[in-house]
Structure 1
Amino acid sequence: MSNEAAPRPVTILPESECWQLLSRATLGRLVTSADGAPEIFPVNFVVQRRTVLFRTAEGTKLVSTAINRDVLFEADDHSATEGWSVIIKGVARSLHTDDEIEEAERAQLLPWTATVKSHYVRVLPTRITGRRFGFGPEPDREFTIV
């Protein structure tokens, strides 16, 4: 059985496309550590200057990003025929100076829930990777994708 016409089921994305995809997404997941255990938090976000910006209230998410500055951030999306996932390894920084907060406020990032989220956190990437997935039937077991 020839596989020449079959599309590749997984494609590694260039960094520029990763940022384009993230710029169109609004919901992602922040992965950090709290009390020595991994934690994951859904957050609405925006991309600003090739960083990820989100707002948070006092609590576990804010504390864990302050203590464990090394974080992962992931966003993804899909259609009926394909999907994508982008992962950022980076450093989370709470914004404190007037200039930082003014810049963050220009992003017009509004909380999705009816709660006060007065703290801005910016994820500064050290590495960004992405993959696009073509959906389709599982190939025969003898068929191996190289």
Structure 2
Amino acid sequence: MNHTEHPRVDKLEKAECWDLLKSHVVGRLAVVVDGHPDIFPLNYAVGNGHVVFRTAGGTKLQGTIDQALVALEIDGYDDSSEHAWSVVLRGTAREITHPVEVSAANALPLEPWQGGTKAHLIRIDSLSLSGRSFPVTRPDIWKTPVSDPRRSSFE
């Protein structure tokens, strides 16, 4: 395939999207605060059809309170199939405060990579979930660095 062709893009089923969300722990959270977008990397867990994460006070917390609209995006590369994929969850966020929900969230495998106190548990309830997968262009076409993991499947 040359770089001027348009590769096939496959739509992922919702079940595939949930499976990918469940099998990963790092994503990017998009929020709007004071009228402008912000995006944050975060660790998350999936439980009972929603996404949960911990956060400290600050912009991320401010952007996720009071049923705020948010988006969570994860992506990756499968070297066995030579396909890249992306999943986007759009939903409403709210702080978890009810003791039963706090207990359920604390039972999830939520282990933030960054240290510090993260006293706020946030839940994202899904409004829409979508994903796509597509074959990755051969690395030599774009002069991909040797360190790029996509190269190994072509060698």
TM-score by length of 2: 0.79
Q: Which shifted more, 38-47 or 129-138?
A: 129-138
Q: Structure 1: where are the runs of 5+ without partners?
A: 1-7, 139-146
4+ aligned runs moved over 2 Å, structure 1: none
User: Distance in 2 between the 1:101 and 1:29 partners?
Assistant: 23
Q: Which shifted more, 91-100 or 8-17?
A: 8-17
Q: How many residues of Structure 1 are paired with residues of Structure 2 in the alignment?
A: 131
SS of 2:101's equivalent in the other structure is helix
- Do the aligned partners of 1:33 and 1:68 also contact (CA within 8 Å) in 2? no
**Which residue does 1:83 correspond to in 2?**
84
**Which residue does 1:106 correspond to in 2?**
107
Identity of aligned residues (%): 37
**Which residue does 1:144 correspond to in 2?**
none
- Do the aligned partners of 2:66 and 2:93 also contact (CA within 8 Å) in 1? no
**Which residue does 2:134 correspond to in 1?**
133
Q: Which shifted more, 116-125 or 74-83?
A: 74-83
SS of 2:64's equivalent in the other structure is helix
CA 1:75–1:136: 2 relative to 1, 3 Å: same
Q: Deviations over 1:60-103 (max 9, x none)?
A: 10011115611111111113421111101100011001111000
User: Distance in 2 between the 1:62 and 1:17 partners?
Assistant: 29
